[in-house]
Structure 1
Amino acid sequence: MRAVDFTIQPGERVLLLGASGAGKSTMMAGLAGVLGGDEEGEQEGSLTIDGVDAREARGRVGLVLQDPDSQIILERLGDDAAFGCENLNVPREEIWQRVRESLNLVGLGDLDLNRSTRHLSGGQRQRLALAGVLAMKPGLLLLDEPTANLDPEGVVEVHDAVKKVVESTGQTMVVVEHHIDVWLDMVDRVIVLGRPEPGSPAGAVIADGKPDEVFAAMGDVLASGGAWVPGRTIPDYRPGSAASQAVRVRNVTADTSQTDEHTPVLSCRNLSFGRGSALGTGINLDFYPGEVTALMGPNGAGKSTFALTLAGLLPPVDGQVLIAENLAPRADRREPITWKSRELLGRIGMVFQEPEHQFAANFVRDEVAVGPKSMGKTQEEAYAIADSMLERMNLTRFAQANPYTLSGGEKRRLSVASMLAAAPQVLVMDEPTFGQDFTTWTEMVKLIAAIRDQGSCVIMVTHDEALVNALSARRVMFQEGSRA
């Protein structure tokens, strides 16, 4: 980012927009005073909070990150929510009052304060991260895509909680969000960041004003930059649609010659799943080649656990998950949970809810090439596949970067790219469109449609109604505390 100039007045509620890679998360880290010193990069100009250098404005700013796991550090829910207050030396009796208030605000008030943070769903962890920040009562609240990993009910809870806080306290707020409509009723100013060409005298702020004025003047620019502008048409990638038929994935082909579209490629038989105790029981489902199935329902209902069970990474509590006989390593070994890792390659691929859980290389390009190399491709062939996938996912400029240095949305695209590069016959994906702007979201949908149309079976955990509708996916609904 270069030549960033703006002033935010106390009590303003600002929506910060820009295409992926424009520097929104970097800006938020700078405002929070956690961007790093001169040894970690170059900085010129000034960035102050209440007239104090942002790096010295301790306790004045609260930041909720894209990835809640990077903020949750303690084992027990209550302890984690209290951690920030303890660091600010808030009196003990006041800390727990603040903790209970903040947990109630984000819809976690019914949970035991001793509940393990490891046993929370992704959406619950996101709300816990928000609660910990709210408990510190910061003057400036920074929200970096705080609802990106929540179900629709959770989005409403977090939105309403934030609205209640800022309206009752007059707190200043800056929020980064690709889905503009989530925060439209709350913000009174929009700042749009861009990426000026090298050598250009233009600054990084390309628009700044009231929401209606900015959208009227910059609507097309925002749309082309990837923002989810209200009223935007969602593309159609249903099987057989014109858009779907035009999509191809270069250098990547799943071997589905042994499968029949009328024969299940993966089946559940009287399946009970869970981690120890069963979250769902008596499940009988079939999944077919060339089909997309969406696993939907509230956070905590067991969708991710079910997905891991289907992928052969978590043993069933009871019952079986079976792959088609002609796709098994041997006819008598149809249960993926019994396979070795190498036997899963090319058969079943898993995109985890937390992308970091599957990274295995030091460089982005090598990460995408891992699967093809493991399946016998030459280095030249593997890199050709990797380069194609990185181009499609708008990650080419990060080819030599470490995967862990990417933003949340970029990590998600990398995890999907690396799994698609292996061209599995069954692809299980947990929240594949998390953290994406409209441009990268559309490219993700195109790729899922392409691998579906090549005959692969796609199973995805998602809260994304637009994704499900664009692919005309079959829905499997989960309810908390009951079978799917």
Structure 2
Amino acid sequence: MVSDTRLPLIEAHNWGWRHSTRKAWAVRGLDLRIEPGERVLLLGASGAGKSTLLAGLAGLLDPDETGGDEEGVLLVDGVQARRARQQGVRDGQAATGLLLQDPQAQTVLARCGDDVAFGLENHAVPTHLIWPKVSEALEGVGFPYPPEHPTGRLSGGERQRLALAGVLALRPGLLLLDEPTAMLDPEGADLVRSSIAAVLERTGAGCVLVEHRVEPWLPLIDRVVVLEPGGGVRADGVPGRVFAEQGESLFAAGVWVPGLRPAPTSPTVDDVSPALLTASRLGARRPGQKEPAVRGVDLVVEAGRALAVTGPNGAGKSTLALTLAGLTAPAEGSLVASEALARGAGPSPHAWNAGRLVSRIGTVFQDPQHQFVAPTVAGELTVGPERVAAQGRRWGRRRAVSSSTIGADEILGRLRLDHLARANPYTLSGGEQRRLSVATVLATAPDVLVLDEPTFGQDARTWTELTGLLLELLGEGRAVVAATHDHELVEVLAAYGSVVKL
């Protein structure tokens, strides 16, 4: 064990936090004590406040600087959490280190090595020690590129590894990890877990971990704490006992429980599946790069059928998804839309204007915040339909905004967003933002849906609802394309279509 590692004691006494512009409290009435070096798995339904608690422990919540309301106290080493963070920077040590749910929000510099070094520099680590620590951290997470590699050319999973390296380089006494492997391929996830385990073993550091899929993490965990939506702790104890005594009720509330799996309702899918998009020797290029990231792809997207795109981080899943969605032109080969999909717009989706594209192919980006433009959740669901309506007026004809059997109010209800209708999209949890991004696409009822990691951040209940909605769309004759690492989602979609492995 490294003798100079700080092992903080964490205490919450009736602590609560309400985000600015929100009526409901994200966390409230929380009483919790985490001993130095303890390893805690933090669970709860989507929106229960897990990410908010991690941000509070990291000292990032301040009513004076970030807005919001606080009650009670949250202590790190006996002092207010945000004060402990400020003292840590001054002392050249890190009491806590936070890996955010969105790794892009944690990327600050243009080169990968510089990005990892940034935190070390802010903590006044001596210059001659910084780059050895950077190299060790990058190697520890299996980062595949040299330090000078541009951060702008990373996939979502690669960016997550880089962000984790930046946290581990600080050797904090308490690791705060918000879904660290949710966007990683299985091999990368195993490597990251091994790296975290090695750090915990070597330093004796504690850990508070948020993960929906818990089984692979159980060997590293001493304790499970389940937050109750609306306030307090629902369960707290040794993992085996908590899951044995309360597993069924926790699963019913949305918590992923080892050995229990959600079962979406199976739709009735028509055997007739006309082609909507046909890719022949298709190549797709990342923005700013000359060479295609993906080459030689042959596939057909069919009405009423699903297509799952899988592969390791960096293989080009997101890049291919953007091309299939008509948002980037093919780098080579061809992507041809059928007349049934094009409806007079021409055979090349990338040449369609925004109004035509949104009514034919809907896209859910890997980062949901990239597609939010309205000030409220309810407003987001009107943007796409209004664009479709404007397109119809432009061409002198009226078009029904949606022929889906699922209306906007029902979408919000089934994705458990109806109580957030007036909330700002940027104040939602990561899982809620993901569901909203899917809802905005469903609102325009496109013939093809292209989704990048659609189930990221979902609890068991919302995963089931979201997956069930996608299956219903197949039953309506729409096509679903999903780029994903979620093997359970792949299994479900494969039963109604095919899988492409890059």
Using the size of structure 1 for normalisation, the TM-score is 0.89
- C-alpha separation between the residues in 2 aligned to 1:317 and 1:356? 26
Query: Is the 8 Å Cα contact of residues 44 and 228 (structure 2) preserved in structure 1?
Result: yes
Map of 2:386 onto structure 1 = 373
Deviations 1:23-72 (A, max 9, x none): 11111111111112257233232211111221111321100011001111
Q: How far apart are 1:350 and its partner, in Å?
A: 0.9
Map of 2:209 onto structure 1 = 175
Map of 1:73 onto structure 2 = 108
Query: Is 1:403 aligned to residue 425 of structure 2?
Result: yes
- C-alpha separation between the residues in 1 aligned to 2:276 and 2:114? 45
**2:241 counterpart SS class:** helix
Percent of residue pairs identical: 51
Query: Is 1:268 aligned to residue 279 of structure 2?
Result: yes
Give 1:121's match in structure 2, choosing from 155, 163, 166. Answer: 155
- Within 5 A, what are the aligned runs for 1:1-400? 1-37=27-63, 40-57=67-84, 58=88, 59-108=94-143, 110-196=144-230, 204-235=232-263, 237=265, 243-245=266-268, 261-275=272-286, 276-330=290-344, 333-376=346-389, 385-400=407-422
**2:212 counterpart SS class:** coil
Query: Is 1:459 aligned to residue 481 of structure 2?
Result: yes
- Structure 1 range deviating more: 470-479 or 137-146: 470-479
- C-alpha separation between the residues in 1 aligned to 2:360 and 2:271? 15
* Amino acid in the other structure paired with 2:434: R
- C-alpha separation between the residues in 2 aligned to 1:271 and 1:193? 46
| Residues 282 and 145 of structure 1: CA distance in aligned 2, closer, same or farther (over 3 Å) | closer
Deviations 1:105-142 (A, max 9, x none): 1111x411111111011001011111001111111110
Q: How far apart are 1:182 and its partner, in Å?
A: 2.5
* Amino acid in the other structure paired with 1:280: V
- C-alpha separation between the residues in 2 aligned to 1:380 and 1:102? 50
- C-alpha separation between the residues in 2 aligned to 1:96 and 1:397? 48
- C-alpha separation between the residues in 2 aligned to 1:263 and 1:470? 21
Map of 2:13 onto structure 1 = none
* Amino acid in the other structure paired with 1:26: T
- C-alpha separation between the residues in 2 aligned to 1:366 and 1:264? 33
Query: Is the 8 Å Cα contact of residues 433 and 444 (structure 1) preserved in structure 2?
Result: yes
- Structure 1 range deviating more: 433-442 or 397-406: 397-406
Map of 1:251 onto structure 2 = none
Query: Is the 8 Å Cα contact of residues 273 and 305 (structure 2) preserved in structure 1?
Result: no
- C-alpha separation between the residues in 2 aligned to 1:179 and 1:284? 33
Query: Is the 8 Å Cα contact of residues 369 and 385 (structure 1) preserved in structure 2?
Result: no
Deviations 1:184-219 (A, max 9, x none): 1110111111035xxxxxx60122111112112221
* Amino acid in the other structure paired with 1:147: T
Q: How far apart are 1:445 and its partner, in Å?
A: 0.6
- Structure 1 range deviating more: 31-40 or 92-101: 31-40
Q: How far apart are 1:260 and its partner, in Å?
A: 9.5
Q: How far apart are 1:222 and its partner, in Å?
A: 1.4
Query: Is the 8 Å Cα contact of residues 363 and 451 (structure 2) preserved in structure 1?
Result: yes
**2:455 counterpart SS class:** coil
- C-alpha separation between the residues in 2 aligned to 1:307 and 1:388? 27
Aligned-residue CA RMSD (Å): 2.2
- C-alpha separation between the residues in 1 aligned to 2:72 and 2:281? 64
- C-alpha separation between the residues in 2 aligned to 1:151 and 1:54? 34
Query: Is the 8 Å Cα contact of residues 30 and 47 (structure 1) preserved in structure 2?
Result: yes
Q: How far apart are 1:379 and its partner, in Å?
A: 11
**1:261 counterpart SS class:** coil
| Residues 213 and 270 of structure 1: CA distance in aligned 2, closer, same or farther (over 3 Å) | closer
Instruction: Could you tell me which runs of 5 or more consecutive residues in structure 1 were left unpaired when the two chains were aligned.
Output: 197-202, 238-242, 248-258, 480-484
